[in-house]
Chain A
Amino acid sequence: MAESADIAKDATPPTATPEYLVGPGHDFASVTEKISSIVLQRKTPWGWFVGFAVGFALLQGLLVAMAFLLFKGIGVWGVTIPIGWGMDIINFVWWIGIGHAGTLISAILLLLRQGWRTSINRFAEAMTLFAVACASFYPVFHTGRPWLAYWLFPYPNTMGLWPNFRSPLIWDVFAVSTYATVSAMFWFVGLIPDFATLRDRARSKPWKIAYGILAMGWRGSARHWHNYDTAYLLLAGLATPLVISVHTVVSFDFAIGIIPGWHATIFPPYFVAGAIYAGFAMVLTIAIPLRKFYGLEDFITMKHLENMAKVMLATGLIVAYGYMMEAFMAWYSANSYERFMIWNRMTGPYWKMYWALILCNVVAPNTLWIKNLRTSVPYLFVISLVVSVGMWLERFVIIVTSLHRDFLPSSWGMYSGTFFDWSAFIGTLGLFVTLLFLFVRFLPAISIFEMRTILPGAEPQEGRR
């Protein structure tokens, strides 16, 4: 710890931690007790069963949509020429984007030494994994023959074929599969010391064995912590450029194409900012009910919620800048197709979508400048849902309005999602909710060992560096 931090600690009374990241009166034992009891309690609260049942019921939508798609082919979706990419890609980008906040919180804020990330990083990382799982359905099923999706990977085969590495879609395969792998490893490594805590505290034999296997014999040795800390920091350092590269590559899916409305150099930063924006909205959507129902207000404090609101505001402004630049460049380029594209977006058949998007993504988050609104929990919950809708609309606008009227009026068309598009989307929402409920029940939703490090008195007092 830096010297300044020690001075700050001395100046505050022992019961209050700096900046109120933890409620007063907590020590190592009470933090351990509080978080692990959510997992180890014998009786599951009835509210959990209700939430899980809702998620699991929605998940059946995915089963219906994907089973029928396998039976009939992707014609059951609304995609057709000229809109060959519809809700499948909209949802893919939406889910991947949501995942990015988890990596941002766990990796980038760790490198920036933002102590407030500690109580939200675990479930944000879980959210990342589940969002990537939801996202992966769409491109795999959009291949039409998902049982051959492994053809996307380079492997020696009897056909003598190799993928075309000049295609952004192959870059996507590399980016998303690496992202899923690294996120899963980062999450698991973070969980190892907490698995050990659960192993040592579980009362029933089967759970002791299960958590014991997952903890892999972790015993909190100083030698182990030394390598562990190094590995954790290195992973954070690797995940940071990775998360930026993933949405950059996702934006290349569009930006490499020559379609007006896609072919823009602003896409990578604009997509990355949008991803973080959408992701923080989802973190708030999950954090607010989680802290309420499990009584975690001492760990996920107002300070956390307000910081997340500020990140949402900042990234929302970057996204708004992206929208402005799209319009400006269309005008400034003096390219008639670009000008038509933006005019068609604002006043064409999908004008409602465009203006709803501006309302959700530009107007709504700007209310977070007001401190009273930023610190109102119900308001933040509503705003987080509004932003999630707005980011979905953004992808709809980018994908559909760019494709539906391109260079030749003879190839113009319209798009709308079918029943199977919607049931697949609702189904992945169900998958996400189901996985989240299972996660909260069986794994510690807040990192216990990292919470211990931010308690007062966690650092030795002699002030030796």
Chain B
Amino acid sequence: MTRPGLYGLMAEFSDPTEVVAAARKVHEAGYRKIDAFSPYPLEALTEALGLHHSRLPLLVLLGGVTGLVAGYGLEYWASVIEYPMNIGGKPFHSWPAFIPPAFETTILFAALTAVLGMLALNGLPEPYHPVFNVPTFALATKDRFFICIEASDPKFDPDRTWSFLLSLGPRVVSEVEQ
């Protein structure tokens, strides 16, 4: 079976059309522990890999609601319960005046959730990853596209997966060291 130390096999493409077609074939062939790499966001590539949903929007909604409740709650607690002050005869619970800060905390919490949530869902920061061992992988941030099938995939077989990847017409297929 797979030799230890092998993370997976990586195929390199130079064209977005080719990589999307190849990614679709990889997914259709039943491989699931797969990933593709592109120098810019390619919606079609994400779809070809069978990825549809991101949990991020729900998290951001929850973050925003938390910000709203926290912001308004702080204002209410500070102005009505903890430190009630008569200012210009306005009611302690001056709800119209409480809207701007509560709005800002809603945005702040939602935006923080969007950024931290994106990093967390992506597992970043991640200083080391086996794909960086492929010598030409530096071009993934310039003009090359890559598809990687991991050795831990149940369908993975060093020889058959190798020839399968070759049949997709890549520039080159290389082994990814752990």
**B interface, over-half SS:** helix
CB of A182 within 8 Å of the partner chain: yes
Residue of B nearest to A212 (CB): B127
Classify the secondary structure of A's interface with B: helix
> Does B41 count as interface, using CB distance less than 8 angstroms?
yes
B87 to nearest A CB, angstroms? 6
Q: How far is the CA of A200 from the CA of B138 in the complex (A)?
A: 5
Say whether B149 faces chain A, with CB atoms less than 8 Å apart. no
- B112-126 CB contact bits vs A (8 Å, 1 = yes)? 101101110110111
How far is the CB of A108 from the nearest CB of chain B, in Å?
Answer: 15
Interchain Cβ contacts under 8 Å between A and B, 12 examples: A154-B74, A165-B94, A185-B111, A201-B138, A219-B137, A222-B38, A223-B51, A227-B56, A238-B110, A238-B111, A452-B40, A459-B42
- Residues of A at the B interface (CB closer than 8 Å) are 27-29, 32, 154, 160-166, 168, 170-171, 174-175, 178, 181-182, 185-186, 188-189, 193, 196-197, 199-201, 212, 216-231, 234-235, 238-239, 241-242, 245, 249, 252, 449-450, 452-453, 457-462, 464
Q: A166-B90, A216-B119 are in contact. Are A222 and B37 (CB under 8 A)?
A: yes
User: Is B78 on the interface with A (CB-CB < 8 A)?
Assistant: yes
C-alpha spacing A249/B99, complex, angstroms: 11
A178 contacts B104, C-beta separation under 8 Å = yes
B17 touches A226 (CB 8 A): no
Instruction: Give the residue name and chain of the B residue nearest to A188 (CB).
Output: B115
How many angstroms between the C-alpha atoms of A219 and B19 in the bound complex?
16
B45: chain A residues within 8 A (beta carbon): 222, 225
In the bound assembly, the distance between CA atoms of A171 and B108 in angstroms comes to: 14
Interface positions of B from 96 to 112, Cβ below 8 Å from A: 97-98, 100-101, 103-105, 107-108, 110-112
Inter-chain contacts of A242 with B (CB < 8 A): 104, 107, 111
Closest 9 CB pairs of A and B: A216-B125, A28-B143, A231-B118, A217-B126, A162-B78, A200-B138, A171-B100, A174-B104, A452-B40
Q: What are the residues of chain A within 8 A of B3 when measuring CB–CB?
A: none
Find out whether the CB atom of A449 lies under 8 angstroms from the CB atom of B39: yes
Residues of chain B contacted by A200 (CB below 8 angstroms): 138-142
Report the separation of the CA atoms of residues A222 and B20 in the bound assembly, to the nearest whole angstrom: 11
Measured CB to CB, the closest approach of chain B to A89, in angstroms, equals 18
* B75 close to A (CB within 8 Å): yes
Would you call B40 and A458 a contact (CB within 8 A)? yes
Q: What are the residues of chain B within 8 A of A238 when measuring CB–CB?
A: 60, 64, 107, 110-111, 114
- Are B79 and A162 interface neighbours, CB within 8 A? yes
Residue B82 at the chain A interface, CB threshold 8 Å = yes
Indicate if the CB atoms of A196 and B141 lie closer than 8 Å: yes
Does A460 lie within 8 Å of B42, measured CB to CB?
yes
**Within 8 Å CB of A235, what residues of B?**
111, 114-115
Which B residue's beta carbon lies closest to that of A173? B101
Q: Is B177 interfacial (CB 8 A cutoff)?
A: no
Interface residues on B, range: 35 or more
Give bound CA distance, A238 to B79, whole Å. 28
Complex interface: chain B residues within 8 A of A249 (CB): 100
B169 within 8 A of A: no
Across the interface, which residues of A come within 8 angstroms of B100, CB to CB? 168, 171, 174-175, 245, 249, 252
Determine if A220 and B141 form an interchain contact, defined as CB atoms under 8 angstroms apart: yes
Tell me if B167 is interfacial: C-beta within 8 Å of chain A.
no
Residue of B nearest to A192 (CB): B124
C-alpha gap A225/B56 in the complex (Å): 12
Given contacts A27-B143, A220-B140, contact A226 B94 (CB under 8 A): no
Among A161, A224, A241, A464, contact of B44 (Cβ-Cβ < 8 Å): A464
| Residue from A161, A171, A216 in contact with B101 in the complex, judged by beta carbons closer than 8 Å | A171
Nearest A residue to B120 via CB reads A227
Which residue of the partner chain B has the closest CB to A231? B118
| CB pair B38 A181 closer than 8 Å | no
Beta-carbon contact of A162 and B105 below 8 Å: no
- 10 extra interchain contacts, Cβ-Cβ under 8 A, other than A165-B98, A231-B117? A28-B39, A162-B78, A171-B101, A197-B142, A200-B141, A227-B118, A228-B41, A230-B118, A231-B118, A452-B39
Cα–Cα distance between A15 and B90 once the two chains are bound (Å): 66
* Residue B164, interface by CB 8 Å: no
> Is B36 positioned at the interface, with any CB of A under 8 Å from its CB?
yes
Given contacts A174-B105, A228-B118, contact A216 B126 (CB under 8 A): yes
**B46 close to chain A: CB less than 8 A:** yes
State whether A462 touches B21 (Cβ < 8 A).
Answer: yes
* Chain B residues with CB under 8 A of A188: 115
Contact: B108 with A181, CB < 8 Å?
A: yes
- Is the pair A165, B56 in contact by a Cβ cutoff of 8 Å? no
CA distance A245 to B108 in the complex (A): 13
Which of A165, A231, A239 lies in contact with B78, CB distance below 8 A? A165
Contact A230 B56 (CB under 8 A): yes
B129 near A29 (CB under 8 angstroms)? no
Min CB distance B72 to A, Å, is: 10
Other-chain contact of B35, A162, A223, A457, A458 (Cβ < 8 Å): A223
**A165 vs B84: C-alpha distance when bound (angstroms):** 11
In the complex, chain A residues whose CB is within 8 Å of the CB of B17 = 460-462
Known: A28-B39, A175-B104, A216-B124. A193 touches B16 (CB 8 A): no
